[in-house]
Amino acid sequence: SVNIGCGPAEERVLLTGLHAVADIYCEICKTTLGWKYEHAFESSQKYKEGKFIIELAHMVKDNGWDEQHDS
């Protein structure tokens, strides 16, 4: 199952121009993780459509992987 939710798209002016973006969030804790590019109004930015941006500040590695050792 997918654990990422997507909010409604809204137009925002970013550094690279006007885009329609939707916030993406964790379905479990509802923390906003970043956004998805729904539509780019500048032709040079069209490659971003459908792509996701995850802000590293919201990523937490808390899974005990560092404590696992090969037996």
Mean pLDDT over each residue of the chain, to the nearest integer? 86
Q: What is the pTM of this model?
A: 0.72
Q: Mean pLDDT throughout 8-29? A: 94
How does residue 66 score in pLDDT terms, banded at 50, 70 and 90? low
- pLDDT for 50 beyond 90: yes
Query: 33-57 as b/e, with b when 16 or more CB fall inside 10 Å?
Result: bbbbbbbbeeeebeebeeeeeeeee
- pLDDT for 64 beyond 70: no
